[in-house]
Structure 1
Amino acid sequence: MVTTFPQTHHFWRPRKQFITYALYALLPLALLHYLLFTPLPAPKPPLLVPPQAREGAEIFVPSQHGDAAVNARQELPPPPPPDQGQGLGGGALGETQAGEVSASPPCDYSDGEWVPDARPPLYNGTSCGTIKDGQNCMAHGRPDTGYLHWRWRPRRCAFPAFSPESFLRWLRNKHLAFVGDSLARNQGESLLCLLSSRSRADLLYRDGEDNKFRRWVFRDYNATVSIFWSPLLVKVAEKAEQAGVRHNNVFLDSFDERWMSQLGALDVAVLSVGHWFLIPGIYHDGGEVVGCHDCADLNHTETAFFGVFKEAVHRTLAEVARRHGADRKVVAFTTFSPAHFEGDWDKAGACPKKQPYRDGEKELGYTETEMRKTVVEAVAAAAANAGDGPLRFAVLDVTKMANLRPDGHPGPYMRNDPFAGVEDARVQNDCVHWCMPGPIDTFNEILLQTISG
């Protein structure tokens, strides 16, 4: 049966459809008109130091409470670039929104530039009691603070902001040790200060002159950090100039058991040596003197220290591989950290720079290049021999980034109030070690990415 609808129904149906279609067509047009012609509210300008402000200049920072401007004498760099921020992502380790660690492609952290960063450091000269006195530049009265406000930006990948919590979580129930000379100690104390900004470190053990062997524990995580003094990694009878001995006696066929014997208890060993190889030394191998460095007063064959440094590095890594056992272990080697003396060590202005070098402004010297190359090649060879086993070798290639930071050393402020009102006083300068906080904190930012990657 066919049902016949009245004629009036056939007249109104197309009309209703036309109205419906017209409304659907007008809605997108109205939305487009709103987006194109409705002005957006102006963003609230951030509280930044004006570009014309220079280090040490008098600047005015508006009060956030609407009160009169606060006259604040500050020494800050220009504002950070637009990509500055906590959520950088993209390195060997990134933080998800839930705070979990996520893996991503490895990053070449050695190639980059220092860029302004207005964020304050995670610690200061009074909040961290682990800083060796000579590196506590803030407490010793260093007047400029611009050296605190730079961050390293790799060229081809992003660098996540350092997370003490991430490092502590990774280090839970593990033992990490810094092994080497005073730069190894400098880096170790930096890490302790960074981590102490989130969890208290308790000193468990100390021994040796100037507390050269120390151990701490972060009890909240059962995480242990040690520092072992071993300035050449191999066995050495250290110089004693007060007793008339100006040469180190270096035994290339023996290892420094003060730290090597502890290898089995370590999950991570961070090695860092270099500067002590520049000191006059007599070299022993197989029970014989095989050469010496800077020994014109002795009847020995003069030998360049580069070859000895190479032997010590290669032999140490080979011995670590032989002894490490079946447990998982990371051995990271920090490359040579250049000094920045531009004048005499006992005169003002020995390392006078107040800002980093720009890329290309300060090339690496021959010594720094060769020392870095030795470590990079030795670690690569050790990693190839280790294969996919439980022992992992890594290099912390910091030589270039350190070379660009002449402003980060204590200089005369290795002593408290060094000039005491006399600007041209003859004082000792330190243009080798790093202020804390300072550029050496970045070494440990790279360490976090390396061991967690």
Structure 2
Amino acid sequence: MTMKAAFQQNHHLNVNVNPSPRTRKVVTYALYALIPLALLHYYLLLPYPNAIPIPAASPSQPQPQPLPPCDYSSGQWIPDHRGPLYNGTTCHTIKDNQNCMAHRRPDTAYLFWRWRPAACTLPRFDPSSFLHIITNRHVAFVGDSMARNQAESLMCLLATASPPELVYRDRDSAENRYRRWVFRSHNATVSIYWSPFLVKRIEKSEKTGIRHNRVFLDALDERWIDDLQSMDVILFSLGHWFLIPGIYYEKDQIIGCHVCPPELNRTEMEIGFFDVFRKAVRATLEEVRRRHVEDARRERLVAVTTFTQAHFEGDWDKAGSCAKTEPYEDGEVQMEYTTARMRTTVLRELERIRMAAHGSRVNGLHFQAVDVTRLAMLRPDGHPGPYMYPDPFGSGSRDRVQNDCVHWCMPGPVDTFNEIFWQLLLLPH
């Protein structure tokens, strides 16, 4: 993008009509002194290039200007009468369990809020702008069902401007864990990769009596890492699967477990999951950095969406629910210890890799956080709750049914995640 600097400087000098030689000498020295100051001023006004190059906008479609860096994590939810850009009956990429409108959720107030950061502005999502940014690029969402939730939200937002074409679906997966769309209008690709730990794993299977995930911390998941070189923008989202009982390996040796099975000595082997989570995040970022150095001419943004806590009132597996219909007010709820620690881990690992990757960063690799932990914490009303099922009380019975108080209704608060993601793509670096 061509850089332009506007530099105007008017000097008003009170000089006599017939100045003396001494006066002329003083004025000449003053002018020479002003030249380096003017040059310094000029260079300070030059803008920095964008992290992801944005093609020039057409005259008929002007693009918003990048905003200064902003802390989007702190703020409050305010009423917004405009409502969402899409609805649950016209967007065809929503997972059924998050389609609250189609499942006849009776209250609609949860649709009419928007996030207002404390110290800056978060614009309403512009699908045309986002598509313009990712023209000729591949955006990949890699992680667990929260990554999928955010990816499907983005697809619904973008579909309001251009229809996507589904070009790949994993036929062996009823959960649609691997999918790819193309926006022909912009030659833009969006993919979803199921990888709840980012590293290699063997998933638990209750049907066969396997109740622990087996997680291999020294090997990344081949399903997504093999496609890394095709990805221009990568968004990782993970966390909730680390809370599930697991057995952890390095060099094919068990190094510990979380909620250890009876065959392992719980006293010696129980290590929890916090350090395992940190290792998985670090291994992922390090490998992306290492492989990028081999392709250093390429611009690439790597982002991580921070952990979001659940809002169950009661235990999730014992008819726990999330029945609130309005956001929490500031100070009404506290961040849980697990949530705070996992958020901090992501932020620290991103900062660590940014410092270590200084050389590759100037070669086009950029690391950012989609820090949504606090804003999500304040939205207990944004989950499907019982409306993860179609018309759960259609028979008239108000008995408790299973609730989903982890994922997000679509449309809903998860759309704000993508508003922040969009702003990260616009950030100057």
Bucket of the pairwise TM-score, normalised by the shorter protein: 0.7 to 0.9
Aligned residue in 2 for 1:315: 283
Task: Give the direction of change, closer, same or farther, for the CA distance of 1:214–1:98 in structure 2 (3 Å limit).
Answer: closer
- Cα separation, partners in 2 of 1:293 and 1:106, compared to 1, 3 Å: same
**Any stretches of 5+ residues in structure 2 without a counterpart?**
1-50
1:278-293 alignment to 2 at 5 Å?
278-293=243-258
Give the Cα separation in 2 of the matches to 1:103 and 1:220.
Answer: 23
Matching residue's letter, 2:370:
L
What corresponds to 2:404 in structure 1?
430
How far apart, CA to CA, are the structure 1 residues paired with 2:315 and 2:229? Answer: 44
One of 150, 156, 159 as aligned partner of 1:196:
159
C-alpha separation in 1, matches of 2:81 and 2:373: 24
What residue is the counterpart of 2:41 in the other structure?
none
Q: What secondary structure does 2:130 align onto?
A: helix
Q: Figure out how many residues of one structure are paired with residues of the other and give that number.
A: 361
Superposed CA offset, 1:93-141 (max 9, x none):
9x99973232332111011110000002111011100000000000001
Picking from 234, 257, 265, the partner of 1:269 is 234
Name the CA distance, whole Å, in 2 between partners of 1:233 and 1:349.
Answer: 29
- 2:128 maps to a residue whose letter is E
Cα distance, 1:286–1:352 mapped onto 2, change above 3 Å? same
The aligned counterpart of 1:113 is 76
Q: Give the counterpart of 2:87 among 124, 127, 137.
A: 124
Q: Distance in 1 between matches of 2:262 and 2:394?
A: 40
Is 1:215 aligned with 2:180?
yes
Q: Do the aligned residues in 1 keep the contact of 2:217 with 2:248 (CA within 8 Å)?
A: yes
Work out whether residues 217 and 223 of structure 1, in 8 Å CA contact, stay in contact via their aligned partners in 2: yes
Deviation at 1:421?
A: 2.9
8 Å CA contact 2:201, 2:214 repeated in 1? yes
Which of structures 1 and 2 has the larger relative contact order (alpha carbons within 8 angstroms, sep 6+)? 2
Q: Counterpart in 2 of 1:383?
A: 354
The alpha-carbon deviation at position 346 of structure 1 amounts to: 5.9
Name the residue aligned to 1:392: 366
Q: Could you say which residue in structure 2 is the equivalent of 1:228?
A: 193
Equivalences for residues 17-416 of structure 1 within 5 A:
99-207=62-170, 208-209=172-173, 210-300=175-265, 301-324=269-292, 325-326=295-296, 327-345=298-316, 350-387=321-358, 388-416=362-390
> Which whole-Å CA distance do the structure 2 matches of 1:138 and 1:221 have between them?
30
Give the deviation of 1:449 after TM superposition.
0.1
Contact 1:190/1:440, CA 8 A, preserved across alignment = yes
The code of the aligned residue for 1:315 comes to A
> How many angstroms apart in 2 are the aligned matches of 1:262 and 1:346?
37
> Who wins on radius of gyration, i.e. which is larger?
1
Q: Distance in 2 between matches of 1:346 and 1:234?
A: 27
How far apart, in 2, do the equivalents of 1:313 and 1:104 lie? 28
Tell me by how many angstroms 1:451 deviates: 1.4
Would you say the 8 A contact 1:131–1:190 is kept in 2? yes
* Counterpart for residue 448 of structure 1: 422
Cα deviation for residue 159 of structure 1 reads 1.3
Q: Distance in 2 between matches of 1:329 and 1:346?
A: 41
CA RMSD, aligned part only?
1.8
Paired residue secondary structure (1:211): coil
Note the C-alpha offset of 1:422: 3.7
Corresponding residue number in structure 2 for 1:69: none
SS at match of 1:190: helix
In the superposition, relative to structure 1, how do residues 302 and 348 fare at CA in structure 2: closer, same or farther (>3 Å)? closer
Contact kept? 2:67, 2:423, Cα under 8 Å = no
Q: CA 1:328–1:154 in 2, change beyond 3 Å: closer, same or farther?
A: same
Cα distance per residue 1:200-241 (max 9 Å; x no partner): 000000004121100001111111000000000000000001
CA contact (8 A) 1:347 1:426 kept: no
Write the letter of the residue equivalent to 1:153: R
Matches of 2:410 and 2:67, distance apart in 1? 30
Shift of 1:158: 1.2
Please report how far the alpha carbon of residue 296 of structure 1 lies from its aligned counterpart in structure 2 after TM superposition: 4.7
The residue type paired with residue 413 of structure 1 is: Y
CA displacement at 1:345 relative to structure 2: 3.5
User: Distance between the aligned counterparts of 2:386 and 2:149, measured in 1?
Assistant: 17
SS in 1 for 2:321: coil
Distance 1:347 1:423 in 2: 18
User: 2:333 & 2:282 partners in 1: Cα distance?
Assistant: 29
> What amino acid sits opposite 2:357 in the alignment?
A
Between the two proteins, what is the percent identity of the paired residues? 58
Q: For residues 410 and 277 of structure 2, what CA distance do their matches in structure 1 show?
A: 28
Q: Tell me if the contact between 1:246 and 1:280 (Cα under 8 Å) persists in the aligned partners.
A: yes
TM-score (norm 2): 0.81
